[in-house]
């Protein structure tokens, strides 16, 4: 194709995009909105005024304008609007981003009501906690209430969880990360954007990041991060440190920015037993591409070599045996109370994988030594040996006892418990102990 034809095509495409995105509604309507909201909600107005949206003439009705028939549409000061702005609305202009978000793991977070997490909050605490504790991160189904001023049920609004189930069928909420009404990319690129949810005893990504050299370098050089830059290519536009967004989403010299946060993640570290994700080799390659902006291939490769071994160690030494014990307990109907989480051993097992088990794995994934060991695998081991095993022994079940005895006697990873300290120390010094764990490196 000749350059002139390309130019023409690009111009046509641009004009088309502008005509689609430019406000389809009566400009007077937005003028009215602003007049009143500048007085009534001056903060909201000022955030918008400073935003990229304002400088690109994206005004109130472009996002909040609703069409007849939409479930959450209501009349407000003579205009049909909707409070809720969904990824579908944002996608009118940000098409690619909306698609990526829609197919990401983030977008599925609202299905939490089916998961154990939500069960536990509902039974052990109660609905108010489920709403503010679980759903404000995960998002929940937006319920329409005809009596509510904005048609949204107060139990499901506010609702800015990342996997919000919207009345228009879309999933997710862009302002989870791009906080309204500034929708700043700089803000979404900072670790704090993620750490509203990714923190705490069960998934301390924020704490691990802060412990790591990456976090250390970021907080030292926060002013050099060039966070407002449009392209924000790591190694080019900034180079002092990566943030969460850098590794999981942002552009490199070889990759475009993605709004599918799972695209560079090779393991799922969430479930009781970790497994590689589909196409994990491609995803691993993508992540290594990010590393390569600052690190040599051997250095980056070395990290994954060490990290993978920790995950496998956790899987094989603790997660699978603990899971097997729970299976035997359930098959033999040993639990006293009928409800899930109504028996002590269920809480022990839960914390073993959901809390410390994840801490160890996340610590290893993101170079947080203390989270890998003291907050991580140390706690896993203590839970396993001195909470889970004694609790399991209480059932006095033959099959279960046999399983535990076999583990402690015949599994070289666990037989240390019945061995003399002096011999163990000797084995460590001689390297014999390490040979037991060599398999976790060999498989890589």
Partner 1 sequence: MFERYKNFIHGVSGNAAGLWGVVLTTTSFVGFILFEVARLSGILTNTYVGLVTYMLFPALFIIGLLLILIGWRRLKKQSGRTTAELMKQRFGDNQTKAALFGSKVFTTIIILTLVNILFIVAAGSRMMAFMDEPVFCGTACHSVMNPEWVTYQASPHSRVKCVECHVGEGADALFDSKLNGLWQMVSVTFDLLERPIPTPVHQLRPARETCEKCHWPDKFYGSRLKRIERFKKDEASSVMFTTLNLKVNGGSLSQKGGIHWHVAGENEVRYASVDDKRNEMIWVDVRQDDGSFRRYTNKTISDAESNHEDSRILDCVDCHNRATHIYENPGYAVDERISRGILNRSLPYLKREGLKAVSADYPDKESAMRGIDNQLRGFYRNNYPDISRKQGDIIDSAVLVFQSIYSRNIHPEMNIEWGTYASLIGHIGDGGCFRCHNSNLVDDAGNTISDDCTLCHSILAYGSESSFKFIQPADSTDPNFEMHKYLRDEFIKSAGL
User: Exactly one of 11, 16, 22, 27 binds partner 1 (CB under 8 A); which one?
Assistant: 27
Burial 58-87 (b: 16+ CB within 10 A, else e): bbbbbbbbbeeeeebbbeeeebbbbbbbbb
- The least distance separating partner 1 from the CB of residue 58, rounded to whole angstroms, comes to 10
Residue (of 171, 181, 141) closest to 159 by Cα position:
141
User: Exactly one of 24, 31, 271, 296 binds partner 1 (CB under 8 A); which one?
Assistant: 31
3-state secondary structure of 211: helix
| 230 touches partner 1 (CB under 8 A) | no
In sign, the C-alpha dihedral spanning 292, 296, 301, 306 is negative
Burial class (CB in 10 A: 0-12, 13-18, 19+), 137: middle
| 436 touches partner 1 (CB under 8 A) | no
CB 354 within 8 A of CB 390: no
Question: Considering CB under 8 A, how many residues would be counted as binding partner 1?
Answer: 18
Residues numbered 186 to 215 that lie near partner 1 (CB under 8 A) are none
Give me the long-range contacts of 287-290 (CB less than 8 A, separation at least 24).
287/247, 289/252, 289/254, 289/255, 290/234, 290/242, 290/246, 290/247, 290/252, 290/255, 290/264
Closer to partner 1 by Cβ: residue 32 or 387: 32
Q: Which stretch binds partner 1 (CB under 8 A): 29-37, 199-207, 217-225, 427-435?
A: 29-37
- The least distance separating partner 1 from the CB of residue 23, rounded to whole angstroms, comes to 8
In sign, the C-alpha dihedral spanning 3, 6, 12, 18 is negative
- The least distance separating partner 1 from the CB of residue 55, rounded to whole angstroms, comes to 6
Q: Which stretch binds partner 1 (CB under 8 A): 23-31, 107-115, 167-175, 359-367?
A: 23-31
CB 290 within 8 A of CB 234: yes
Q: Which stretch binds partner 1 (CB under 8 A): 26-34, 88-96, 265-273, 337-345?
A: 26-34
Closer to partner 1 by Cβ: residue 25 or 179: 25
CB 62 within 8 A of CB 91: no
CB 418 within 8 A of CB 412: no
Q: Which stretch binds partner 1 (CB under 8 A): 24-32, 109-117, 185-193, 359-367?
A: 24-32
Residues numbered 36 to 65 that lie near partner 1 (CB under 8 A) are 36, 38-39, 48-49, 54-55, 57, 59
What is the 8-class DSSP label of residue 69? Answer: T
Residues 6+ apart with CB under 8 A from 431: none
- The least distance separating partner 1 from the CB of residue 128, rounded to whole angstroms, comes to 22
| 180 touches partner 1 (CB under 8 A) | no
User: Exactly one of 8, 10, 18, 28 binds partner 1 (CB under 8 A); which one?
Assistant: 28
| 77 touches partner 1 (CB under 8 A) | yes
Q: Which stretch binds partner 1 (CB under 8 A): 32-40, 119-127, 253-261, 428-436?
A: 32-40
Our separate counts of H helices and E strands in the chain read: 26, 4
- The least distance separating partner 1 from the CB of residue 64, rounded to whole angstroms, comes to 13
Q: Which stretch binds partner 1 (CB under 8 A): 25-33, 125-133, 212-220, 413-421?
A: 25-33
Residues numbered 122 to 161 that lie near partner 1 (CB under 8 A) are 149
3-state secondary structure of 198: coil
| 119 touches partner 1 (CB under 8 A) | no
Burial class (CB in 10 A: 0-12, 13-18, 19+), 433: middle
Residues that bind partner 1 (CB under 8 A): 27-28, 30-32, 34-36, 38-39, 48-49, 54-55, 57, 59, 77, 149
């Amino acid at each position: 194709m000749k350059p002139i034809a390309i130019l023409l095509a690009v111009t046509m495409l641009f004009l088309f995009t502008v005509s689609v995105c430019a406000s389809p509604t009566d400009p007077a309507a937005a003028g009215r909105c602003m007049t009143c909201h500048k007085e009534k909600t001056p903060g909201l107005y000022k955030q918008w005024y400073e935003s990229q949206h304002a400088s690109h003439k994206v005004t109130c009705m472009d996002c909040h304008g609703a069409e007849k028939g939409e479930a959450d549409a209501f009349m407000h000061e003579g205009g049909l609007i909707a409070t809720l702005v969904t990824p579908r609305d944002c996608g009118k202009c940000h098409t690619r981003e909306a698609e990526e978000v829609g197919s990401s793991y983030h977008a599925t977070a609202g299905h939490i009501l089916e998961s154990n997490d939500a069960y536990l909050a509902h039974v052990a605490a109660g609905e108010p906690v489920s709403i503010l504790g679980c759903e404000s991160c995960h998002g929940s189904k937006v319920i329409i209430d005809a009596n509510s001023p904005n048609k949204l049920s107060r139990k499901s609004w506010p609702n800015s969880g990342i996997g919000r189930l919207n009345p228009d069928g879309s999933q997710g909420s862009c302002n989870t990360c791009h906080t309204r009404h500034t929708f700043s990319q700089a803000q979404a690129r900072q670790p704090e954007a993620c750490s509203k949810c990714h923190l705490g005893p069960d998934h301390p990504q924020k704490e691990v990041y802060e412990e790591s050299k990456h976090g250390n370098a970021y907080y030292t050089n926060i002013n050099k991060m060039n966070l407002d830059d449009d392209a924000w290519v790591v190694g080019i536009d900034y180079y002092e440190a990566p943030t969460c967004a850098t590794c999981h989403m942002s552009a490199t010299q070889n990759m475009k920015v993605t709004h599918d946060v799972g695209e560079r993640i090779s393991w799922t570290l969430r479930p009781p037993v970790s497994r590689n994700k589909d196409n994990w080799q491609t995803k691993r390659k993508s992540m290594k591409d990010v590393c390569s902006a600052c690190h040599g291939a051997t250095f980056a490769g070395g990290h994954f070599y060490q990290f993978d071994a920790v995950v496998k160690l956790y899987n094989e030494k603790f997660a699978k045996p603990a899971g097997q014990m729970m299976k035997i307990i359930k098959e033999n109907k040993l639990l006293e109370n009928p409800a899930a989480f109504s028996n002590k051993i269920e809480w022990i097992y839960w914390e073993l994988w959901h809390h410390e088990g994840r801490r160890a794995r996340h610590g290893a994934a993101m170079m947080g030594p203390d989270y890998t060991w003291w907050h991580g695998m140390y706690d896993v081991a203590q839970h396993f040996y001195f909470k889970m095993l004694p609790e399991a022994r209480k059932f006095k079940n033959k099959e279960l006892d046999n399983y535990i005895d076999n583990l402690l006697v015949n599994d070289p990873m666990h037989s240390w418990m019945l061995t003399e300290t002096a011999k163990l120390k000797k084995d460590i010094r001689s390297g014999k102990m390490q040979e037991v764990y060599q398999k976790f490196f060999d498989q890589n």
